Amino acid sequence: IRLIFRDIPILGGPSLQLAKLAAATAMQGKYPEFHEALMQQKERVDEAKALELASSLGIDATKMKTDSEKKEIQDGLNTNMELASKLMIQGTPAYVVGSKLAPGLLSRDDLKSMIAEERRRKSGDTKQDSPVPSKGESPAESVPSDAVESAPSSEDAQPSQASVSHK
């Protein structure tokens, strides 16, 4: 399984700044740690808090801030936004497993079910087993194949993406 996190700054200026800072942590190999710590915050995180959080994780906050302004960071975020638009993603989180899109937060069981269904599909098993969304969540929808096929692979990942492989 290839898991790719893509920052999609949908909330405007502050969201864009945090996405750029998060993307810059990938240049120091610390994106997963920073992302996890950022998601654990109970209060709104501004740039100063993000830099403080980065420092507490052993990230060079000065380099992070400088790197966040690099063209490749902005280009990567633009690519992410274009892909989100093609996939009609209007909020985060959103999950794409194979050719299925599940907008909104999924339970671990729902995500496992989507992955199992995709594995069956890839193996040629014709048994269809659609995931059951948790309360208040949308069912998985088909994703336009051209959008999925145009998504960069993990080998093409920009600093605004983090790629994790897992079997």
* pLDDT score for 90: 84
Nearest to 20 by CA among 60, 62, 69, 58: 69
Percent of residues, the chain, with pLDDT higher than 70: 74
pTM here is: 0.68
pLDDT band for 96, please (50, 70, 90 cuts). confident
Percent of residues, the chain, with pLDDT higher than 90: 43
**Beta strands in 25-132, from DSSP E residues, in sequence order:** 94-97, 100-103
* pLDDT score for 11: 80
Cα separation, 3 vs 10, in Å, equals: 21
| pLDDT reading at 63 higher than 60 | yes
Characterise 40 by phi-psi region: left (phi > 0), alpha (psi -120 to 50), beta (else).
Answer: alpha
Q: Say which range, 12-21, 76-85, 95-104, 141-150, has the weakest mean pLDDT.
A: 141-150
